[in-house]
Amino acid sequence: MNELALQAIIQHYRTSEEGLVEILREASRQAGYLTPEHLAFIAKALHLPQSQVHSVASFYSLISLKPLGRHVVRFCQDAPCHVVGGRAVWEAVQAALGIGVGETTPDGRWSLLTTSCIGACSVGPVMMVDDDIHGNLTPESVRDILARYDKIGGAA
């Protein structure tokens, strides 16, 4: 992301400390992840110490400081999804992508993260792929869902 795009995000929210969380989240969403240069730019624009910007950026789960794959899977690992068969689905997702939690596939297509509850518990187990929520997952259905987004390479 270039400085112009970043400046536009800062302008859209507030050019003050109070806008920091929203600016970081939106910038991270658009850029995929935030580099030290991004953080320095935001710190300067908001007249904040870089340490504060980094501390906020590293706190929230929707702000990423490391590169993620083209598609990000966020699998809900909380109790309501767990009780209705989430564990088997979780294993199927890992097998389908061939990676474990926090990892990115070597071809850069996929990253696999876990998430806390996303409020879709009546259709659990649930995962988010990018911005989409998929519910009522079964170990059999996850491969088809993932394949709709991109090539998957893991074990069948």
The single-letter code of the amino acid at 78 is D
Contact flag: residue 15 with other proteins (CB under 8 A):
no
Contact flag: residue 125 with other proteins (CB under 8 A):
no
**C-alpha neighbours within 13 Å on the C-beta side of residue 77:** 11
Task: Pick the closest to residue 74 from 58, 57, 62, 56 (CA basis).
Answer: 62
Distance, first Cα to last Cα, the chain: 36
- Collapse the DSSP code of 81 into the 3-class scheme (helix H, G, I; strand E, B; otherwise coil) and give the result: helix
Query: Which residues within the stretch 69-108 sit at the binding site for other proteins (CB under 8 A)?
Result: 77-80, 82-84
Nearest distance from residue 68's CB to other proteins, in Å? 14
Q: Among residues 132 and 140, whose Cβ is nearest to other proteins?
A: 132
Chain positions contacting other proteins, by CB under 8 A: 16-22, 24-25, 46, 48, 52, 55-56, 59-63, 77-80, 82-84, 115-124, 128, 131
